[in-house]
A and B are shown apart, each in its own frame.
Chain A
Amino acid sequence: MRFSLDFIKKILKKRKKERSLFQDFETFRKILSANDQFLRSLAELIELDKSKRFSLSTVVKTYEQISDCAEAMVSCLVEMTGDKYQELIQKYVTLDREVNLEVLKSHPVEVAELIIWPDKNNELDVNLVGGKAKGLAEIIRRTSINVPPFFIVTPYATRILLESNGIQDEIGERLWSCDYSDYKMVKKICEHIHHKIINAKVPKPISDAVQDAVQKLKKLHPCKFGFAVRSSASVEDTKTSFAGQFETILGVKEADVLNAWIRVIASKYRFQTLEFIRLEGFLDEEVTMSVIIMPLIRPKISGVAFSRSPRGGDFAEITVVEGLAEPLCSGRVMPDRYEVCRYPPYQIIGYTSSNQGFMLQCLEDGGLIEQEVSKENKSIVNADLVSRVAEIAISIEKAFGKPQDVEWAIDEISNIYVVQSRDLKILEPESQIEEYPTGRILLRGGTSVCQGVATGLVRKLLSYEDIGISKDTVLVIPSTSPKLAHMILNACAVIAETGSPTGHMATIARENNIPCIVGMTNALSILKDGQLVTVDSRLCNIYEGDIKYHRKPEESKEKSQEKGYLDPTRRCLRELIEKVSPLTLKNPNSPDFTVQNCKTLHDIARFVHQKIISEFFETDISERKEKRYAKRLLWKAPMDLLVIDLGGGISGGNLDCVTPDNIISQPFSALLEGMTDPRLRWAGPVGFNLKGFMSVVIMSAADDQRYGEPAYALISKDFLHFSSRLAYHFATVASLCSDSQNQNYAKFQFYGGGSVAERRELRAYFLETVLRANMFDVVRVGDKIDACLSKQSKEITEDALVMLGRLMVCSRHLDMLMESRDCANAYAEAFLAGDYGFDFVKKRG
C-alpha cells in the first residue's frame, strides 16, 4: 500500500516538474548569457593583472561576478535537467569555497567561542588563537615548562566588535579600495580606522565573557601586578614573526583589560603595521587578530633566549635585562649577553656586559614604572639561573624540533616563566670569507644581526617619520625599533647606533635577509645623508663608496629575485586567476568531460555551456506538447515543416501557417535560404544503383516507420533548432546567431539513412569532408556526424547555416549512391564547387 502511494506521489511529482519548451528555452538563454558574462568578467580579471594599479575590492568584485555567473549557470542547468547534474552544485560550492578561503582569505565569520583556554590535551586551532598563543599552548601541551596561565579572546570576538560598530564595512570599502602607492592617503584612512576602533563600543556578550575569564584567571594565579595583553595574530610567529608589529600592553589594570584588548586589535590598523603586513605579502583579511590575556609576572630579571645562535654558532644565546624585557625587545636598552653551551650542564662560555641605563618594572595592581639602573645597583645575576634558562630554551627547541626564540622572565622567588616562544631563523653560516675587501673603512664595530654586503646611499632617520625608502637606501637609525620594520623592508642595509641583536627589528632583518648591524656607535655623526657607502655586516665594516665588492654578486641577485616580492593584492589576483581561469576540460567529446574533472570555475562554465547546448539540441519536439503551437510553413519545397516561435522569430502570418517572408529569425532564414537554393534538386531520379537499392529495401523491411513525421523548427530572433527526417535519416541543426560573437554557434548532427552501414558511413564521410572544408569541428562515429562551428561572427555563422541547408537537402539520398571513398570525395568536391544538383554525374556519362 505504502509502496503504491509512494509510486503515485513520485509520478505526481514528476508531472509537476515537467517543464514547458518555453521555460526550457528561457533557461537555455539564461545560461548562454550568463556564460557570456562569465567569460567577459574572466577576461576583465586577467586584464587587471596588466594594469599597474588595482585595488583588492576590484579583484573581489570581479571574482564575485564570475562566481555569480557560474552559480547561475549551474542552478539553471540543474533546474532544467533535474537530478542529472546535481553533483555540479556541490562542485561549484567546493570550488567557490576554496577560492574564498585560500585566495581571498575571507574566512566567513563562523560562530566560534569568544574565549578559548589552552588545554593540555587538545591542540588549538591556529586560526582561532593566533600563532603566539598556539606556541605557548604547545609548550604547555608538550613540556612541563612554566607558562603563566592565560586565555585567548578569539578573532570571532574581534569580528563582532568590528561588525557591531560598522567598522568592518568601512575597512572593506575604504581600505581595500585604496591606492597603496599614495601613502598619505593610506595613512589617513589608517588613522581614521584606528581611531574608530579605539572608540568602539564593546558588545555586552564580549565584555561579560572577558570579565568572567579574568575572574577565572585570578583564581588560577595571583594577578597582583595586573595583566599582560598580547597580540596573537593568525600569521604571527608562523611564516614570519611579525615581531613587535602588533601592540603588547603590560601592566594592565583589571578594569582596563577590555580597553587594552581593543588597543591591541586596533594596532593592526596602525599605518606602519599595515604597511608591514602588505610588504610581507599578506592581505588584510589573512591577518586575523586573537588576543592573549595573562597575568603579568613581576620579573627580577627577564630577557630573550635563543636556543641556538642565529648567526650560526653552536651555542645558546641569552640576553638579560633587569625588570621587564619590553625595553630590550623594542631595542631601547642594551642587555647583558651570555653565550651558553647547548649541552648539560649548560655552562656559560661567553659574557658581554653592558650598561642597561634604565629598567621597566610593573607596579602592584597594574601600571609600569621606569627606574634608573646603574652599574652600582645592578643586581648580580645568578649563573645557575642563566643555565636553567638555556636548558628551558633548548628543551623547547627539542619539543618543537626547531631552534627557538624564547622570551622569559624570572620572578622574585626564582620561578622561570616562558611568556613567548617562536621559531628562530638561523642564518646559514657564511662560508669562509675568501677575500677581504679593500677600501677606506669609514666605520667599524657593533654586532652583526644579519650578514651580507650591500652598497647604497645613506639615509639617516632621526624620528619615526615615514620617508620614502628605495632599494638602494642604507638606513641609519639611532636605535632599533619595531616601528621602523616597514621601512627596513625596503632598505638595502640597516645600521643602528644602539639596539639588541635579539630585538624585534633584528628578527625582522634576519627574516628578510637585510644586512644589519646594531650597536654601531657614532654612525649618525660620521655618516652623511646621501653618501655612497658599502656595508659589510659580516665584518661589521662600512666602506666609503661602492667598493665593488660583492661576493658572487650574480647569485645574490638571483636570490633576491627568487624571493620576488609581490604586492599581496597582485599575488592574490594571480592566485585567483590561477584558480579560476585554467581550462582543463578541453574536449567535450572525450570521456573525461565530466563533472568530477571540473577543476576550475572556468571548467564548470564550459561544462554547463556544452551540456545545455547538447541538452537543448536533443529536444525531441515531436514528443513535446508544445507542438500544438506549431505553424505550418508554406513554401515550395516538398517537406512538411512546422515552426514554433519562441519569441521574435515570426512576424505576421496567420494562426496556423506562415510563409518564408514571415520568418524574421535570422538563423532560420539563412537555413531556409540554403534549403531553397534553386540549384538543389528536390525531386527526380537521383541515379540508380541496384546494390544500393537492395540495401535500402532490406533496411526498410525493419524500419520504425518514422519518416512520415514532419520536420520542426524551433525559432527565435537569433536562435534556431531544426530537426527533421528528410529521407531515412535524422538531421538536426541548432544555432545561435547573434551580435555577440562569443555566444554564436552552429551545430549539426546527422545520422541514419536508408541503406546499409558502409554506404551510410560513406555519406557521413562525404558530410565530414564538406563540413571540415567549411571550418566545422567534426566528430564522426560510424554513420553519425556531430559538427560544430562556434564563436564565429554573425555573418560567418549565417553563411554556415545557408551551407547546412543546401547540404541537408542534397545529401538526402546520397547514401544509396555511395560506393567508395573516391565516390564520396567526388561528390564532396562537386558540392564545394557549387554543383548542388550533382550534375557532374550526368556530364561524366
Chain B
Amino acid sequence: MSLENYVLDISNFPWFILFGLIVGALGGFFGVGGGFLMVPMLNVVFSIPYNICVGSDLGQMCGMSTAATVRHMRFGNVDFKLGFLMIVGTASGVEVGASILELLKGAGTLSIFGKEIDLMTFVMSLVYAALLIFLGQAMIRESLRTMKRESGSVEISSTSEPAGGYVLKLRTLKLWPMVSLPASGIEEISLWVILGIGFATGFLSGMLGVGGGFIRMPALVYILGCPTVVAVGTDLFEIMFSAGYGVFTHALKGNVHLVLVLALLIGTTVGAQIGASFTRKAGGPRVRFGFGCLAFLGVISVVVKLAIKLGGH
C-alpha cells in the first residue's frame, strides 16, 4: 500500500490548509469535540489511510498543545509530579493503541459481499462511527433537555434513587503504592488510578488520534480531585507529551506525513480563532446541539464512504 494511491502530494497543500481551517473552526466553535472529526474526515475527503490520518493528526495536536503549554507553564499551574506519572501511563496507552492500529494496517483485506476491503479502513470506520453516534446522541439529548429546562417548563425530578447509594468512593481504592501530590493538595492516591487514567487517554490517542483531554480533564478534577487551575495546566502539559510520544511512535511506523501536519497546523491555528469568536454568542446547549448534529453528519459521511468502497472498484 503506497502513498501514490492516495491524493497525498504537495499539490494538495492548499486544500489541506482549507480543510484544517474548517476543522479548526469547528474545533474552536464546538470545543474538543471538533477534533473528533479530523481523522475520519481526512479519510473521507482525501481518502488518506487511517494510520496516516491518526499519525498526522497527533503531529498537529502536538504542535498546538506545545504552544498552549508554554503559555500555561508561565503561570506555574502544572503539577509536574502528577504530569510525569501520568505520562508513563499515557505512553503505554499510546503504544498499545498505536500497535493495534499497526496490526490492523498489516492485517490485509476482508471480503464482504464479494468485495475486498482492507481491514483497517473497515474497523476504524466502524469504531469512529460508533464513537460519533455515542457522542452525538448524548449531546443532542442533553442539549434538548437543557433547553427545555431553561425555558422553565420542567420541574426538578425527585428521583427515587436512595440517597445513600450515590457515592462510589474511589478513594477507598488503597492499592499499593500510594502517592501524594503536594502541588495539587492531594494527600494520597493510588498510583494505579493515575496510571489508569493516563493509559485510557493514551490508548484513545494512539489508536484514534483524539486528544483524550475530554476524559483527562474531568478525571483530573473529579477522580483525582485536582483544583481546576492545576487540572488545566497539567492537562495541557500532558497532551504535549502524550501527543509527542504518539507522533514519535507513529513516525517510526511511517504514519506521519510532514506536509500534511504542517498544512493542518496552519489551518487549525487560524480556524480555531475564527471558531472561538463565534462560540460566546451562541451559548451552551445550542452549541452542543449543533455538535450533535455535526457528529451525525460525520457518521453519515463515514458510512457512505464505506458503502462506496464496498460498492465501487
Contact = CB atoms under 8 A, between A and B. Distances in A.
Interface in B157-174: 157-161, 163-164, 166-171
A703 interface: yes
B138 interface: yes
Contacts of B159: 819-821
Interface in B135-177: 135, 138-139, 142, 145-146, 149-152, 156-161, 163-164, 166-171
A47 interface: no
Contacts of B186: 683-684
Contact of B229 (A639, A689, A821): A639
Contacts of B185: 638, 682-684
A639 B221 CA distance: 13
Interface string A675-701: 000000011111111101101111111
A698 B184 CA distance: 25
A530 B33 CA distance: 102
A555 interface: no
Contact of B221 (A701, A813, A817, A844): A813
Contacts of A823: 163, 166
B156 A841 contact: no
Interface stretch (A8-16, A595-603, A650-658, A758-766): A758-766
Nearest to A765: B156
B284 interface: yes
Interface in B288-310: 288, 291-292
Contacts, number: 172
A800 to B, nearest CB: 24
A472 B279 CA distance: 82
Contact of A688 (B72, B169, B288): B169
Interface stretch (B40-48, B87-95, B102-110, B210-218): B210-218
Contact of A701 (B36, B150, B166, B228): B36
Given A686-B225, A758-B157, A813-B222, A698 B139 contact: yes
A725 B227 CA distance: 12
A724 to B, nearest CB: 10
Interface in A283-332: none
B205 interface: no
Contacts of A685: 169-171, 189, 222-225
B62 interface: no
Contacts of B219: 693
Interface residues of B, number: 64
A157 to B, nearest CB: 62
A826 interface: yes
A841 B167 contact: yes
B241 interface: no
B120 interface: no
A816 interface: yes
A754 B187 contact: no
B32 A701 contact: yes
A782 B218 contact: no
A702 B152 contact: no
A819 B152 contact: no
B139 A697 contact: no
Contacts of A760: 146
B22 to A, nearest CB: 17
A693 B223 contact: yes
Nearest to B166: A819
Most buried by B among A702, A781, A813: A702
Contacts of B184: 638, 683
A728 to B, nearest CB: 8
Contacts of B138: 698
Interface stretch (A105-113, A269-277, A423-431, A704-712): A704-712
B77 interface: yes
Given A693-B218, A727-B228, A698 B77 contact: no
A812 interface: yes
A822 B189 CA distance: 30
B124 interface: no
A784 B284 CA distance: 12
A765 B214 CA distance: 27
A696 B214 CA distance: 9
Interface string A805-819: 000000011001101
Given A693-B222, A821-B158, A705 B31 contact: yes
Contact of A757 (B142, B160, B166, B226): B142
Nearest to A819: B166
A572 interface: no
A689 B228 contact: no
Contacts of A707: 217, 228, 232
B235 to A, nearest CB: 9
Contacts of B166: 689, 817, 819-820, 823
Most buried by B among A682, A701, A821, A822: A701
A752 B284 contact: yes
A191 interface: no
Given A817-B166, A821-B157, A757 B36 contact: no
A688 B145 contact: no
A49 interface: no
Contacts of B288: 699, 702
Nearest to A704: B279
A704 B283 CA distance: 10
A700 B32 contact: yes
A701 B214 contact: yes
B25 interface: no
Nearest to B284: A752
A783 B149 contact: yes
Given A708-B232, A761-B156, A640 B164 contact: no
Contacts of A640: 75, 77, 229
A185 B20 CA distance: 92
A705 B68 CA distance: 12
Contacts of A693: 218-219, 222-223
B30 interface: yes
Contact of B145 (A702, A705, A756): A756
A410 interface: no
Interface of B: 30-33, 36, 72, 75, 77, 135, 138-139, 142, 145-146, 149-152, 156-161, 163-164, 166-171, 184-187, 189, 213-215, 217-219, 221-230, 232, 236, 276, 279-280, 284-285, 287-288, 291-292
Interface of A: 637-640, 682-690, 692-693, 695-705, 707-708, 725-727, 752, 754, 756-758, 760-762, 765, 781-784, 812-813, 816-817, 819-823, 826, 841, 844
A-B CB proximity, top 6 nearest: A683-B185, A638-B227, A782-B149, A820-B159, A819-B166, A696-B218
28 contacts: A639-B227, A640-B77, A682-B185, A683-B227, A685-B171, A685-B223, A688-B223, A689-B168, A692-B222, A693-B218, A697-B218, A698-B135, A700-B218, A701-B135, A701-B139, A702-B31, A702-B135, A703-B31, A756-B145, A782-B146, A782-B152, A783-B150, A820-B157, A821-B158, A821-B159, A822-B158, A822-B163, A844-B164
Given A690-B168, A819-B163, 4 more contacts: A639-B227, A684-B187, A686-B222, A688-B167
